[in-house]
Chains A and B, each alone.
Chain A
Amino acid sequence: MAKELPGYGTINVPKERQVPFGAVTKAPVCTQQLFITSNWRVVRPVKDDEKCTRCLICYMSCPDACWIFKEEEDVMEWVSDFCKGCQICINECPSDALTAVPELDFPDGVVRLDKPF
């Protein structure tokens, strides 16, 4: 069943599939520039590519999707704008490839805002 959705075009919903009450939307592919939370961070995770096994546990455990697997380069990429420094990835990393380093050791990496958040 083809369904017209304003702003999203047409979405094909199979007849036998149960659709949740509410809406069918596309998965987000961009970042939300209105809610940059990098200034919540006190420490940042710093990765050691030698120790990293690309197990993707940091990717799975990050509540803010701040770890991206770059398939072409075969490395994990950290998204600095949205990492709040919760350290879940550091605790979950099975190969101790991540360490918490104080944010003030780095000259940049935090988006400077006028008002909180």
Chain B
Amino acid sequence: MAKVHEITVWARGVIMDKEGRDVINIFAEAAKMEGKHVQAFDNYEDLPDRVLVTVRKYVRLSDEEIEHKYVYGNDQPEVVVVIEATIVKGIDVLLGMKKGGTLIINTNRSIDSMLKFIPNANLLATIATVDADGITGVRTIDFSGSEGGVDTSGIGKGIAAPIVGAMAKVTGMIKKENLAKVVSDVSGMERGYKEVKIKKLG
């Protein structure tokens, strides 16, 4: 069985739920265009969505068919994306990660100030920050009650666009050209791709 790349996205309930869902859907869709086998799904074990509660979204990529389709959770995430920077303070987002992982945080603070909040940062090979809130402005809030089934605002508007752009550059798992076909806000995605700050850790 080929290696399965596990990506976990942390977001906050209700106010960033759509952003988190967009990130996993866009990332999986773009990887599918490159002929990869993908899975993307919301969490099934966290609290029900309440405002500000931490929620997880998962993506899995593989070159071959992914066999463990009934496991709703990434035990060993390779890439962790934090959509709201305060989450790193209150939760061990790197839980289960093997040495040499990647962490991407949406913040306008410096990488060093974020590392202070991560006691197990020795697991990381790469840490990156992207100021998605600064690039696209306000977040898109979707209270239509459609639970993602119908989405009139489009997939990949708001902070999801720069975050997937940053993910494409940092992880190298997907191409920017494929992302541009999926994302609504292409300019935001390209700014995220350009403006992401990457730091390699020893």
Question: Which of B12, B55, B86 has most A Cβ within 10 Å?
Answer: B86
Main secondary structure of the interface of B (DSSP, over half): loop
CB within 8 Å of B: which of A61-117? 84-86, 102-104, 107, 110-117
Q: Would A116 and B47 count as touching, CB distance under 8 A? A: yes
With contacts A85-B52, A113-B91 taken as known, whether A41 is within 8 angstroms of B86 at the C-beta atoms is yes
B53 within 8 A of A: yes
Chain A's closest residue to B119 (CB) is A112
- Expressed in whole angstroms, the minimum distance between the Cβ of A44 and any Cβ of chain B is 10
Question: 5 nearest interchain CB pairs?
Answer: A39-B90, A40-B52, A116-B46, A116-B54, A110-B90
| Total interface residues in chain B, CB < 8 Å | 23
- Expressed in whole angstroms, the minimum distance between the Cβ of B110 and any Cβ of chain A is 11
B194 within 8 A of A: no
Q: Which A residues are CB-close (under 8 A) to B56?
A: 116
A42 within 8 A of B: yes
Bound Cα distance A86, B13 (Å) = 13
- Expressed in whole angstroms, the minimum distance between the Cβ of A75 and any Cβ of chain B is 26
Q: Which B residues are CB-close (under 8 A) to A112?
A: 89-92
Q: Would A117 and B92 count as touching, CB distance under 8 A? A: no
Bound Cα distance A85, B87 (Å) = 13
Q: Which B residues are CB-close (under 8 A) to A110?
A: 86, 89-90
Q: Would A39 and B85 count as touching, CB distance under 8 A? A: no
B41 within 8 A of A: no
With contacts A114-B92, A117-B46 taken as known, whether A107 is within 8 angstroms of B53 at the C-beta atoms is no
Q: Which A residues are CB-close (under 8 A) to B92?
A: 112-114
With contacts A104-B109, A116-B53, A117-B46 taken as known, whether A42 is within 8 angstroms of B86 at the C-beta atoms is yes
- Expressed in whole angstroms, the minimum distance between the Cβ of A64 and any Cβ of chain B is 12
Partner pick for A104 among B46, B51, B86, CB 8 A cutoff: B86
- Expressed in whole angstroms, the minimum distance between the Cβ of A48 and any Cβ of chain B is 23
- Expressed in whole angstroms, the minimum distance between the Cβ of A92 and any Cβ of chain B is 18
- 29 A-B pairs with C-beta separation under 8 A: A39-B87, A39-B89, A39-B90, A39-B91, A40-B53, A40-B54, A41-B52, A41-B86, A41-B90, A42-B52, A42-B84, A85-B52, A86-B52, A102-B86, A104-B86, A104-B89, A104-B107, A104-B109, A110-B90, A112-B89, A112-B90, A112-B91, A113-B91, A114-B91, A114-B92, A115-B91, A116-B46, A117-B47, A117-B53
With contacts A41-B52, A42-B52, A117-B46 taken as known, whether A104 is within 8 angstroms of B117 at the C-beta atoms is yes
Bound Cα distance A73, B169 (Å) = 55
Bound Cα distance A113, B107 (Å) = 21
Q: Could you mark each residue 53-75 of chain B with 1 if its beta carbon is under 8 Å from any beta carbon of chain A, else 0? A: 11110000000000000000000
